[in-house]
Chain A
């Protein structure tokens, strides 16, 4: 009889892997959860942040180890692409994953986001629809504590509540910042509806967490744990008996009889290799590392789609000085959104757009240029106060389509400290996302006019939003997709992928809530099969 080390081995301890781990452990399943990086408590990250010289580097306060390099490690991601855009992304390798440094926007996709091909004739459809995922969205919102306005039209049209919900949000919206009030007062008459952005910075005490106190430090770390991060479910999983193995880097999935995955091999920092056997395997190592592990292992790739279809919300960003004090920086790092362009007929021609309002304490952004101008003393102090009160940043979340040539592969030659390949990415912007520039410019022009603004940075260059999607794409055809509707590998029935890499459309919203909902649904499938 086959001996197993656990019912389920989960590779990756981010929000998706850790949520799946908790569900499995609550159902009485034995789980080993592996993490390439170490465990670091919140207080240490806060101290690291306060002692860091690089306050706008949101990986800086986290460990970055030679056997678990993060995305900012020099040379770790070799990116090729367009002359006017260099692919950059931002992930951590620590217990809890990259939600340790997110800002926690928790949007649901809209029903149309699941059927882009059939409604708009572009991209792909999902093999499931909104109604299939709705109960799992609700469970995800309850697991992580999502704050939202249930009667909001999140498609931005100012109509009735949308998308449909089977129950209210677990937590009511936070107070609306003065800056957002001013956005709404001046942009509303021009036709732009400013709506609430759902998020996981709780507005009331919930699940042992305190309510958000507006420390304005969501990125890189919420100092008080009001904002959800994956380590919360890591802690819960460990308390439920999950065997968390940190600094354990998976490097091979081993195939056995019947095309089953029989073991995972991982490497410790000292180079020692360990083999673990389990009935089921979940790879939850985000869109880039999951694809890398599958390609290194030569598994799950009969479709030749592993690593392909890489998507982000690559878009544009405008910074300006308003003609009145808005005082960003009061509250969390983002509140509110303009979703008017989120689901319009123009999606047939070009990318949809959602506008994100930045709300950072801006002193560190405005002061260097004032010093370079030579301002000093009282004049410098007055200029800092004036600039900080009037600066505003609005950026686009733009929809990219899955393209097989946008891809990640294990780097052919570069190796990390334990001999494992780094990443090579090819990422180019197609006409679909580039085609939204004209529309975005028209909206940006109106935003600027509303505030009689002065340009600090024009929205002429492209930038990523660090949302990794598409690399292990879901579909209903094993010939052109990596996983089925249950996130199960078409090639190996006991291999599941808990990653936003499975998303066939990127839409215009932060993908993590969708990823957690999919991971919870996946765990339910496993519980029923084990």
Chain B
């Protein structure tokens, strides 16, 4: 992502720009755990991030990036120096390097880890940051559990999810077995655009239509 994209994203998200009400005293000093907490809260637009998690993240990022302290200090000072500016103006002051630093801080707060976790190998460079406070679960918390304990009771999954308007369905759609709606007797012939997508030749239907019409044009030209 380049700086321009970053700025566009930041500016379009009004919530993140709000600065925590209390400015940490340590901000004036060199890079520190408290500074990281201030920067994290500013960038994620959230108050009350857990200082213990921030401390763990600080240690991890410091180990991974030899001059993380300096990067953090520069980013914090920039955010602080331009605190009087509008959010858009303040973010516009960030350099490419500060954008990179900002992303390196936001990412583990959302995912709950640093590095690249392996799915089928015992070893990787991933480091635990948090699970119960990983921010990526917050936008869906009203609908899906943070896996391990749901606390929604049994069979909650059958109801139409909160905020969803279910399209009309047969009355017995919730039944299993012979009471359940029967499928059509004949399987539909697939259409070429959707086949092209399955074959990895197009990502969207519009792409596939363009691809196939272009191929048709080429064929016509050949004839």
Question: Chain A: interface secondary structure?
Answer: loop
Docked complex: A430-449 residues within 8 A CB-CB of B:
441-446, 448-449
In A70-88, the 8 Å CB interface with B consists of: 70, 72-74, 88
Given contacts A72-B121, A458-B197, contact A376 B106 (CB under 8 A): yes
Contact (A377, B44) CB under 8 Å given A367-B111, A371-B107: yes
Check B14 for interface membership: any CB of A closer than 8 A. yes
Segment of B64-72, B77-85, B112-120, B215-223 in the binding face:
B112-120
- Of the listed stretches B4-12, B23-31, B33-41, B47-55, chain A binds B4-12
Q: Indicate which residue in B111, B126, B173, B181 contacts A371 across the interface (CB closer than 8 Å).
A: B111
Q: Is A373 part of the contact surface with B, judged by Cβ < 8 Å?
A: yes
Whether A173 contacts B177 by the Cβ 8 Å rule is: yes
Taking CB atoms, residues of chain B closer than 8 Å to A273 are none
Contact B148 A441 (CB under 8 A): no
Minimal beta-carbon separation of B141 from chain A (angstroms): 10
Q: Quick check: which of A247-255, A323-331, A418-426, A508-516 contacts chain B, the rest being far away?
A: A323-331
**A54 near B119 (CB under 8 angstroms)?**
yes
Interfacial chain A residues near B198, Cβ < 8 Å: 318, 441, 444-445, 448, 455, 458-459
User: Contacts A372-B1, A445-B194 hold; do A191 and B103 have CB atoms under 8 A apart?
Assistant: no
In contact, A378 and B15 (Cβ under 8 angstroms): yes
Q: Binary interface profile of B, 132-144, with partner A (CB < 8 Å = 1, else 0)?
A: 1000111110011
In angstroms, how far is the closest chain A Cβ from the Cβ of B108?
Answer: 10
The answer to whether B117 touches A151 (Cβ under 8 A) is no
> What B residues does A52 contact at CB under 8 A?
128
Count A-B pairs with CB separation below 8 Å: 294
Q: How many B residues, CB 8 Å from partner?
A: 95
Known: A216-B144, A327-B161, A460-B200. A340 touches B187 (CB 8 A): yes
Bits for A373-384, please: 1 = Cβ < 8 Å to B, else 0.
Answer: 111111111101
Q: Do B155 and A175 have beta carbons less than 8 Å apart?
A: yes
- Interface flags, A175-203, vs B, CB<8A=1, else 0: 11110011011011111111110000000
CA A174 – CA B159 in complex, angstroms? 13
The listed residue (A53, A329, A376, A453) touching B9 by CB distance below 8 A is: A376
CA distance A3 to B222 in the complex (A): 86
- Does A46 contact B148, Cβ atoms closer than 8 Å? yes
A57, CB-defined interface residue at 8 Å: yes
**Segment touching B, from A207-215, A349-357, A402-410:** A207-215
Compute how far the CA of A73 lies from the CA of B107 in the bound complex, rounded to whole angstroms: 28
Q: Which residues of B contact A194 (CB under 8 A)?
A: 180, 183
A175 to B151 CA separation, bound complex (whole angstroms)? 17
Known: A191-B187, A361-B147, A458-B198. A377 touches B120 (CB 8 A): no
Enumerate chain B residues within 8 angstroms of A176, measured Cβ to Cβ: 158, 173-176
Q: Which residues of A contact B167 (CB under 8 A)?
A: 182, 185, 324
Give per-residue flags for A30-63: 1 if the beta carbon is below 8 A from chain B beta carbons, else 0: 0000000000000000100111111111011000
Contact between B45 and A178 (Cβ–Cβ < 8 Å)? no
CB within 8 Å for A377 and B16 given contacts A59-B122, A73-B122: yes
* A53 & B154 in contact (Cβ 8 Å cutoff): no
Q: Are A329's CB and B144's CB within 8 A?
A: yes
- Check: A127 CB closer than 8 A to any chain B CB: no
Does the CB pair A190–B1 fall under 8 Å? no
Chain B positions within 8 Å of A191 at CB level: 183-188
| CB of A64 closer than 8 Å to a CB of B | yes
Give chain A residues whose Cβ lies under 8 Å from the Cβ of B186: 191
Q: Does A411 contact B (CB under 8 A)?
A: no
Q: Which residues of A contact B214 (CB under 8 A)?
A: none
Cβ-defined contact, A189 with B184, below 8 A: yes
Is A90 at the interface (CB under 8 A from chain B)?
Answer: yes
CB distance from A172 to the nearest CB of B (A): 9
In the assembled complex, the Cα of A195 lies from the Cα of B128 at a distance in Å of 39
For A72, what are the chain B residues with a Cβ–Cβ distance below 8 Å?
118, 120-122
Q: Which of B13, B149, B188, B195 contacts A380 (CB 8 A)?
A: B13
- Known contacts A173-B176, A371-B103, A193 near B182 by CB under 8 Å: yes
Q: Which residues of B contact A (CB under 8 A)?
A: 1, 5-6, 9-10, 12-17, 43-45, 103, 106-107, 110-115, 117-124, 126-129, 131-132, 136-140, 143-161, 163-164, 166-167, 169-170, 173-178, 180-191, 194-195, 197-200, 202-205
**Apart from A191-B184, A371-B107, what 5 extra A-B contacts exist at CB < 8 Å?**
A57-B120, A187-B183, A217-B148, A378-B12, A378-B16
